[in-house]
Amino acid sequence: MLSFTTGDFEIHNIEEWQGEFASPEQLFAGFDACEFAGFVEQIPHSFYRPESNSLYAFLQSWVIKAGDLTILYDTGAGNNKERPGIPVFGELNTPFLANLAAAGFKPEDIDVVICSHLHIDHVGWNTHLQSGHWVPTFPRARYLFSRIERTYWDPIQTDGPRPSATGAEVNTNVFEDSVQPILDAGQAQLVDDGHSVTPGVTVSVYPGHTPGHLVLHLDSKGDHALFVGDILHHPAQVFQPDWNSVYCEDSAAAQASRKKILALAADTNARLVPAHFGGAHFIWIERSGNGFIPCFERDA
């Protein structure tokens, strides 16, 4: 079980699923094969399988021990959920809770759940089935949802911006079984840009992939980590930050947020922790001319 520290904070990786997800052509909007060929040899096999032309991905969560507070960032796809929008994440039966226990945590140990955004593969374990009903998995937790996200993805909302056709299809059933039960239980806390969870733990809105996407910033003893959800899906986007995923709701905003995060990580020497990375599940960023390159290994 992977773990690391950021200053006084202890961080533990909780795996849900791993596997070949899509080809680069399928995932990246604006993909250019010639550009990809120019840097693909710098991408480790744990991220890209050239023999099948497949991007290798994980569904995973992170437990952060911040003093007396136990925080869970993102909750994967969940078990037994109907997901016609992305069938590979539907009707799963993964050992996520067993993996959580192997890391030393029970659902009732979690004080705060932070959902980076309200997509299918980041809210699934918010709830589990109990006597035919979806109920909160973490019974003591405050669930932090971006206020923007809560409104945007609620299917009964009629005012304001609405999801794209792709977004609505991908998120079929998601709000109903993984977000609404948390609202109904009174365990949701809607947060805005710059919300402080506890000293050294802050969430900030980086729009684009979704309009209220939350990045988690850990800052302790001069050490930094950025949990960036789906701002980056793959190291290819470090070399080419203009490549969005096909699931990004606002193309220009997603590109701007990605470049802003890469610059912040490079300038603060922050460990960058995206939602779906294989390998060690995190990287560092270095500047290279007018762009960036990923660093996959570094002395901690």
Residue 178 lies in a domain: yes
In a domain, 300, yes or no: no
CATH number at residue 270: 3.60.15.10
Q: Is residue 240 part of a domain?
A: yes
Per-residue pLDDT tens digits for 106-165: 999 999 999 999 999 999 999 999 999 999 999 999 999 999 999 999 999 988 999 999
- Quick one: which of 276, 279, 293, 262 has its CA closest to 22? 276
Asked whether residue 226 is domain-assigned, the answer is yes
Instruction: Report the domain count for the chain.
Output: 1
DSSP 3-state percent helix, strand, coil across the chain (nearest 5): 25, 35, 40
Using the predicted structure, report yes or no on whether residue 300 has a pLDDT greater than 50.
no
The set of residues, in sequence order, having a beta carbon less than 8 Å from that of 37 and lying 6+ positions away, is: none
Domain housing 67 = 3-295
pLDDT tens-digit map of 63-72: 999 999 999 9
Residue 215: which pLDDT band, with cuts at 50, 70 and 90?
Answer: very high
Which tens digits make up the pLDDT trace of 167-203? 999 999 999 999 999 999 999 999 999 999 999 999 9
Contacts of residue 117, defined as CB under 8 A and 6 or more positions apart, other chains included, come to 146, 149, 209, 210, 212, 213, 214, 229, 230
In a domain, 170, yes or no: yes
Interatomic CA distance for residues 80 and 74, integer angstroms: 18
User: Would you place residue 298 in the very low, low, confident or very high pLDDT band (cuts 50, 70, 90)?
Assistant: confident
Asked whether residue 34 is assigned to any structural domain, the reply reads: yes
Rounded to whole angstroms, the Cα distance separating 203 from 231 reads 14
> Does residue 203 belong to any structural domain of this protein?
yes
pLDDT tops 50 at residue 50: yes
pLDDT of residue 159: 87
* Model pTM score: 0.97
- What tens digit of pLDDT does each residue of 8-42 get? 999 999 999 999 999 999 999 999 999 999 999 99
Q: Token pair of 54, please?
A: 């497949």
Write out pLDDT tens, residues 52-99.
Answer: 999 999 999 999 999 999 999 999 999 999 999 999 999 999 999 999
Q: Which residues contact 157 (CB under 8 A, 6 or more apart)?
A: 151
* Residue 132 belongs to a domain: yes
Residues 44-51, mean pLDDT to the nearest whole number: 97
Q: What is the DSSP string of 22-49?
A: E-HHHHEET--HHHHHHHGGGS-TTTEE
pLDDT at 299: 58
Cβ-based neighbour number of residue 147 at 10 Å: 15
